[in-house]
A = this chain, B = another copy of it.
Amino acid sequence: MRTEAGRPGRPGRPRSERAEQAILDATVHAIGDCGVDGVRCEDVAARAGVGKATLYRRWACKEDLLIAAFASLAAPLPQPRGESVREDLIAMAEVLAEGAMDPRYARQFALLHGEGERYPRLLARYKEQVIEPRRELIRSVLRRGVATGELRPDTDVEIAMLALTGAVMARGKGDTTPAAPGFAARVVDALLRGIAAR
């Protein structure tokens, strides 16, 4: 095993940040190779080229490490610019659509959900720490739209959030090629305008 002390210094990001990313990458690989059950912190540390102490300083238990690894696969949503609800929703849908194409994300996500029954606490923490903050950001934009009058006063914020994120996910379920340009805008505009004749 290479120890942290043995790593040659490299320029760029601080060593602690590089080590952290290496550990997360190694964890993602280990989950793919061995499943959630089979991940061993020693192996992850070895693969990342750090000492176990470095790993445990940052993540006290394996569950924390797994959550961080899963979280690292979800690209952060862009902060809303606050000018137009439509534009903010499109920007977020674009990132979601791109993320849905990442096979690593799809695989780990599927793994976590497929084994969710066996790891209810892990899944619950993933939902709370990874999924919920993203959903809440989308809801906040929708609520802002209601407040500014860009959206209907009776907007069903929860359903609108689910339809937005769900349409993007559902596309990835049938098709793992990159979405055509304008896909995110089509989703947002269908949701904004509605499909009922008037």
Contact = CB atoms under 8 A, between A and B. Distances in A.
A127 B196 contact: no
A91 B114 CA distance: 27
For chain A, which range describes its interface: under 10, 10 to 19, 20 to 34, or 35 or more residues?
35 or more
B170 A162 contact: yes
Contacts of A169: 166, 169-170, 173
A150 B194 CA distance: 12
Interface string A157-196: 0011011111111110110100000000011011111111
Contacts of A110: 109-111, 113-116
Contact of A170 (B155, B166, B192, B196): B166
**How often does this chain occur in the complex, in copies?**
2
A60 interface: no
A171 to B, nearest CB: 5
Given A152-B197, A166-B171, 12 more contacts: A106-B113, A131-B173, A135-B174, A142-B195, A152-B194, A159-B186, A162-B171, A162-B187, A163-B190, A166-B167, A166-B170, A190-B194
Interface of A: 103, 106-111, 113-117, 127, 131-132, 135, 142, 145, 149-153, 155-156, 159-160, 162-171, 173-174, 176, 186-187, 189-197
